[in-house]
Amino acid sequence: GAGVSQSPRYKVAKRGQDVALRCDPISGHVSLFWYQQALGQGPEFLTYFQNEAQLDKSGLPSDRFFAERPEGSVSTLKIQRTQQEDSAVYLCASSFQGGGGTEAFFGQGTRLTVV
Amino acid sequence: AQTVTQSQPEMSVQEAETVTLSCTYDTSESNYYLFWYKQPPSRQMILVIRQEAYKQQNATENRFSVNFQKAAKSFSLKISDSQLGDTAMYFCALHPQGAQKLVFGQGTRLTINP
């Protein structure tokens, strides 16, 4: 596709439900990132993939958060037993390579609201 | 630890004026990259300008330029001849050389008034 695509754009979940957020990166992009953006804040890093390998998951806030990219393309961020503090916009970004200075292209994000 | 601080939560200027957004950062890395991203209401982050720390010359992209002061760890963004379409959240971000992630500031909400 022309850009990074995320789905759904909006998700409302009841507390305790599991959710899955999808990211389709730009074709051929090796690196994929997930960020969490709370209301009125800057994005915070969650995790990083190089192809199918998850090389950094230091930003995942708890073991309820899990991300995968099994074929090195589409990625899914899963949140189990959602809690109200999980409410945020989840941004996905991809880049051609992971080197510093490489432009990361962002999707429009998924706004998750936990009620 | 890497941190980015944007001390101006909101700014507002008239169309065609020049505006400067402030950013300071902290890192122990000797080389790194700095970015300004724009986030309109659509939520999609758009790269405005980037600067590599070892380059002394300030980056420029059309109406956008930066004032990079490495010793002071300051990286401000100047928007000249501001346009209504510049209205957005602006985020300063740091990419340390050894890490594969961006560290963002809290953002500045910029409004350009007609």
Q: Predicted confidence band at A6 (pLDDT cuts at 50, 70, 90)?
A: very high
The number of domains in chain B is 1
Boundaries of domain holding B80: 3-113
DSSP state of B81: S
What confidence score (pLDDT) does residue A58 get?
94
The first and second tokens of residue A85, run together, are 């503090």
Interval B18-75: pLDDT, tens = 999 999 999 988 889 999 999 998 889 999 999 999 888 999 999 999 999 999 999 9
- Chain B residues touching residue A104 (CB < 8 angstroms): 45, 47, 102
Domains of chain A: 5-114 (2.60.40.10)
DSSP state of A20: E
Burial A35-66 (b: 16+ CB within 10 A, else e): bbbeeeebbbbbbbbbeeebebeebbeeeebb
Flag whether pLDDT at A1 surpasses 80.
no
A98/B43 Cβ within 8 A: no
- Chain B residues touching residue A32 (CB < 8 angstroms): none
Residue B21 belongs to domain with CATH number: 2.60.40.10
Interval A65-105: pLDDT, tens = 999 999 999 999 999 999 999 999 999 999 987 666 788 99
Using beta carbons and an 8 Å cutoff, which residues of A are at the interface with B? Answer: 31, 33, 35, 40-45, 48, 50, 55-56, 59, 89, 91, 93, 98, 100-101, 103-104, 106-109, 111
Amino acid type, A82 = T
